[in-house]
Chains A and B, each alone.
Chain A
Amino acid sequence: MDPFAGPADERSDRALVARCARGDRLAFDHLVDRHGDALFRFAARTCPGARDAEDAVQDGLLAAWRGAGTFRGESSVRTWLYQVVLHACRRRGRRRSGEPAAHAPVEEAERVPSGEVGADARVDSRRTASALEAALAGMAPEAREVLLLRDVEGMSGDQAAEVLGISTAAMKSRLHRGRLELKERVEAILGHAPGEARR
């Protein structure tokens, strides 16, 4: 879903949830069409493994289906869906606590044709993206979650705080520490800051 979606999208999301509450499977399909890819992207970077990400999205969306009748509209539908998927991811993470994390690779490596104009830039771009993924995967869940919600999923501060169940002030503090840690980790992997020329 477009992170800048306006009130019309939210109204139709709420209408879909109301239809889900009445057992309308087609409405649920529409909700999945709108939000499924983004929720899966978030889960793939939040859960400890690829299978866990799929299971967490399934658990979360089924919980949303079952709980549609209790949705009171105090938050946006999008925020609510992220909440239920995040809780499912955390449950999976707790079950696997102590095991090494193996976050899902969210994209297959892209081929870079040799000799093509701009190939170096594309290689650098791929290296930066891989470094960011690796750095995120190595961080504590609390730091990773807030970075994903704010900087990848494009949520506002208030929305991210709501998904995380913390105050906006606490979210901002966590976000800042997370960004500082991410910077250090990415620089350690790349040997330089993103955007700087390779040393």
Chain B
Amino acid sequence: MTTIRDEKVVAGLRCGQVLDRLSDYLDDGLPAPERDRVEAHLRGCEGCARFGGAFRDTVRALREHLTSRQVVMPRSLRDRLRRAIDSRVR
């Protein structure tokens, strides 16, 4: 469990408890009552809202920027694979 200096308790959750739940929160992996408490904490805690926003933006950027980049298996690799299979089939 994460401990943060000068952490607050908002909506019954400490900042460290919110930090520990950020990934589950982003992945829609929290039960509704727990998700509501995390959201209430984020609304009432400027530090967690700022940190959580940057955390969310990093994950979002990873999903958007690297997934959208077109990466194609090199033709030469396909040819090598075909040759390797052919040599085994013969």
**Interface size range of chain A in the complex:** 35 or more
Smallest Cβ distance from B23 to chain A, in angstroms?
Answer: 4
CB < 8 Å neighbour of B84 from A62, A179, A182, A183: A62
User: How many chain B residues have a CB neighbour from A under 8 Å?
Assistant: 36
Query: Contact: A129 with B27, CB < 8 Å?
Result: no
Interface: A152 (CB within 8 A): yes
Query: Contact: A37 with B71, CB < 8 Å?
Result: yes
Interface: A151 (CB within 8 A): yes
Q: Given A25-B85, A28-B85, A151-B59, are A172 and B69 also a contact pair (CB < 8 Å)?
A: no
Query: Contact: A40 with B71, CB < 8 Å?
Result: yes
Query: Contact: A196 with B66, CB < 8 Å?
Result: no
Q: Within 8 Å CB of A40, what residues of B?
A: 71-74, 77
* Contact indicator per residue, chain A 91-128, by CB within 8 Å of chain B (1) or not (0): 00000000000000011000000000000000001001
Instruction: Provide the bound-state CA to CA distance between A148 and B74, in Å.
Output: 20
Q: Within 8 Å CB of A183, what residues of B?
A: 54-55, 58
Give chain A's interface secondary structure class.
helix
Q: Within 8 Å CB of B70, what residues of A?
A: 107
Q: Within 8 Å CB of B34, what residues of A?
A: none
| 7 nearest A-B residue pairs (beta carbon) | A193-B54, A194-B61, A195-B57, A41-B71, A176-B23, A129-B65, A40-B73
A interface residues with partner B (beta carbon < 8 Å): 23, 25, 28-29, 32, 36-37, 39-41, 44-45, 54, 57-58, 61-62, 65-66, 106-107, 125, 128-129, 132-133, 147, 151-152, 154, 157, 172, 175-176, 179-180, 182-183, 186-187, 193-196
14 A-B pairs with CB atoms under 8 Å apart are A23-B89, A28-B85, A45-B66, A65-B85, A106-B69, A129-B65, A152-B62, A152-B63, A152-B67, A154-B67, A182-B62, A187-B58, A195-B54, A195-B60
